[in-house]
Amino acid sequence: METKYIFVTGGVVSSLGKGIISSSLARLLLSRGYSVTIQKFDPYINIDPGTLNPYEHGECYVTIDGHEADLDLGHYERFTDIRTTRANNMTTGRIFQSVIDKERRGDYLGKTVQIIPHITDEIKHSILSLGSTGNYDFVITEIGGTVGDIESTPFLEAVRQLKWELGKNALSLHLTYVPYLKAAKELKTKPTQHSVKQLQSIGIQPDILVLRTEKDIPAGMRRKVAQFCNVAPDAVIQSIDASSIYRVPQMMHEQGLDDLVLRLTGTESKGTPDHTAWNEFLRKLESAQEEVTIGLVGKYVELQDAYKSINESLMQAATYCDRKLNLVYIHSEKLTDENADEMLSGMDGVIIAPGFGQRGIEGKFVALKWCREHDVPTFGICLGMQCMVIEYARNVLGYKDANSTEMDSETKHNVIDIMEEQKNISNMGGTMRLGAYNCRLKPGSIPAEAYGKEMVSERHRHRYEFNSDYREQFESSGLECVGENPDTGLVEVVQVPALKWFVGTQYHPEYQSTVLNPHPLFLSFIKAAIRNHKD
Ligand code: GLN
């Protein structure tokens, strides 16, 4: 079949969950047997979010091909099991960079380079190039930002042109907000009408409206919205606050969103969708009674989105173990030897979070020492693994000044050191060791047992590594290197076998855990935490 393009825009306010709606629609179309991919355009000028502080846009997600991406790509993968790449995430910065590079090469020789047509053509090219691979029946393109933002204008103009050129093969889905005014006890559709008017004034007629709401929108009110906005009555769908984002595909399906998309794009239905596995996950999620309590030690604990993929991986693993996840954020800047007992003793398991820089690092050492001495299941991820190694060097090997050269470039005991290939890099953007690399696991180790195999591929985002000069000393003192890169010998995984579950990974397993395929290491960690559960 010809590739169909679905453009997802948002209006009224930000944070309505365009990523969740796009992911849910992708999930529904996949369940019906179509091949689908999702792409996000971010209207900021950064080339990628890799240099952004998590306070700005939450976690930086990493694709297998080493692209530092918007966290929505994490939603896409978790909902769909699609493996995204750099082609699935574009920013204004990358679009402009590509056009400016072409201008310097002389590709536009003699011409004035302009937003229209050059920037818009570049945007259209990135949208269509996914479809032109012939791999997808549907390409869902999410336009970041809110309609009316100056930054989004070129993207919306490209959508307008494509809708015109592609005819029935393109659809516009607009997500808006219907606020409930407590004082008037009324839902208000005016902001939606205004937002649609704004989209129409750009030349885009939405085909489907999804209305985010906290309360049920009566059918009559939805009909009114349809009339005001030139859309079919059944194309006004509500997205009411859900107990879990993973309920949204079902909620969209019940209102016929997938049927509507097939009808509007003239796509033949392949029969009824199969939601069995998804529904089984939801059943487990909603029926779990007993809790498993996990402490997450990090410095961005005020911000839910900073550790998004870790939270989701823990929740997925807990769900498959029939437990409700009780995630306790522990601020690493506030953790000291004096309060460690109080802050950590209620935890069934502890995660030491990834990160960069000095801030909050001492609290991670405090947590690691406490967990090691109390034999609490502990999982160190990236910087968390590096801290595991440093704490062990300080308190078991006796090197009080042990450190990473990231924190102290002068340290004599640089048990974590800058990677050789990173030494001469001064640019900050996209220059870390990024993306998927193989790791060989030691037979019989916790990770090898968890994965059920010895060769795995996991994603990375780091500049520093375990200093192999210390490997023998660590191993003879009880901290084993149980995973390494088969080509370079870089230490990827450490474990203290004398403890119940004390594992650190240089890689980020959280980027590969999905609803239908929870990550084996997180499952193994949660099982250990459950065994450690104290009432
Ligand atoms: N700051 C560490 C490094 O660059 C760890 C990075 C991380 O946790 N993602 O190696």
> Which phi and psi (to 5°) does residue 224 adopt?
-60, -45
- 113 is written with which tokens? 């380079």
CA–CA distance, 490 with 266 (Å, rounded to integer): 52
Per-residue confidence in pLDDT tens, the chain, 535 aa = 899 999 999 998 888 899 999 999 999 999 999 999 999 999 999 998 888 888 888 899 999 999 999 999 999 999 999 999 999 999 999 999 999 999 999 999 999 999 999 999 999 999 999 988 889 999 999 999 999 999 999 999 999 999 999 999 999 999 999 999 999 999 999 999 999 999 999 999 999 999 999 999 999 999 999 999 999 999 999 999 999 999 999 999 999 999 999 999 999 998 888 899 999 999 999 999 999 999 999 998 888 789 999 999 999 999 999 999 999 999 999 999 999 999 999 999 999 999 999 999 999 999 999 999 999 999 999 999 999 999 999 999 999 999 999 999 999 999 999 998 888 888 888 889 999 999 999 999 999 999 999 999 999 999 999 999 999 999 999 999 999 999 999 999 999 999 999 999 999 999 999 999 999 999 999 999 999 987 6
The DSSP secondary structure of 309-370, one letter per residue, reads HHHHHHHHHHHHTT-EEEEEEEETTT--TTTHHHHHTT-SEEEE----SSTTHHHHHHHHHH
Catalytic site residue 229? no
Question: How many other C-beta atoms lie within 10 A of the C-beta of residue 183?
Answer: 5
Q: Quick check: 511 and 73 in contact, CB under 8 A?
A: no
**pTM score, whole prediction:** 0.95
328 C-alpha to center of ligand 1: Å? 23
Catalytic residue among 157, 406, 484, 510: 510
CA–CA distance, 374 with 378 (Å, rounded to integer): 11
Catalytic site residue 174? no
DSSP state, residue 116: I
Candidate of 53, 61, 386 to mutate for ligand 1, largest count of ligand atoms within 8 Å of Cβ: 386
401 C-alpha to center of ligand 1: Å? 20
Catalytic residue among 57, 75, 253, 508: 508
Q: What is the pLDDT of residue 314?
A: 98
Q: What is the pLDDT of residue 195?
A: 96
Q: What is the pLDDT of residue 464?
A: 96
Ligand 1 atom closest to Cα of residue 353: 8
Q: What is the pLDDT of residue 181?
A: 94
Candidate of 404, 462, 465, 466 to mutate for ligand 1, largest count of ligand atoms within 8 Å of Cβ: 462
Consecutive H or E run containing 238: strand 236-240
CA–CA distance, 422 with 394 (Å, rounded to integer): 25
Q: Which residues line ligand 1 (CB under 6 A)?
A: 354-356, 382-383, 386, 406, 461-464
CA-CA-CA-CA dihedral for 419, 425, 429, 430, to nearest 10: -50
Q: Quick check: 237 and 209 in contact, CB under 8 A?
A: yes
Ligand 1 atom closest to Cα of residue 461: 9
> Which phi and psi (to 5°) does residue 448 adopt?
-60, -40
CA–CA distance, 457 with 455 (Å, rounded to integer): 7
CA quadruple 143, 149, 150, 151: dihedral sign:
negative
103 C-alpha to center of ligand 1: Å? 36
Ligand 1 atom closest to Cα of residue 381: 8
Axis-axis angle for helices 92-105, 120-131 (nearest 10): 110
Ligand 1 atom closest to Cα of residue 419: 10
Q: Quick check: 64 and 459 in contact, CB under 8 A?
A: yes
Candidate of 308, 425, 464, 465 to mutate for ligand 1, largest count of ligand atoms within 8 Å of Cβ: 464
Catalytic site residue 68? no
CB contact burial 512-521 (16+ within 10 A = b; e otherwise): bbbbeebbbb
384 C-alpha to center of ligand 1: Å? 9
Ligand 1 atom closest to Cα of residue 354: 8
Which residue, judged by its Cα, is nearest atom 3 of ligand 1?
462
Question: How many other C-beta atoms lie within 10 A of the C-beta of residue 361?
Answer: 21
Which residue, judged by its Cα, is nearest atom 6 of ligand 1?
462
29 C-alpha to center of ligand 1: Å? 37
- 432 is written with which tokens? 């870390």
464 C-alpha to center of ligand 1: Å? 6
Task: Give 56's contacts (C-beta < 8 A, 6+ positions apart).
Answer: 49
Which residue, judged by its Cα, is nearest atom 1 of ligand 1?
356
382 C-alpha to center of ligand 1: Å? 6
β-pairing, 502-505 with 491-495? antiparallel
Q: How many CA atoms lie within 13 A of 351 on its CB side?
A: 29
Q: What is the pLDDT of residue 535?
A: 65
> Which phi and psi (to 5°) does residue 42 adopt?
-105, 125
> Secondary structure of 285-316 in the HEC alphabet?
HHHCCCEEEEEEEECCCCCHHHHHHHHHHHHH
Which residue, judged by its Cα, is nearest atom 5 of ligand 1?
383
Of the candidates 96, 65, 87, 95, the one whose C-alpha atom is nearest the C-alpha of residue 139 is 87
Catalytic residue among 229, 321, 371, 382: 382
23 C-alpha to center of ligand 1: Å? 29
What Å distances lie between residue 95 and 118, 157, 499, 516, CA to CA?
Answer: 10, 14, 50, 34
CA–CA distance, 462 with 492 (Å, rounded to integer): 11
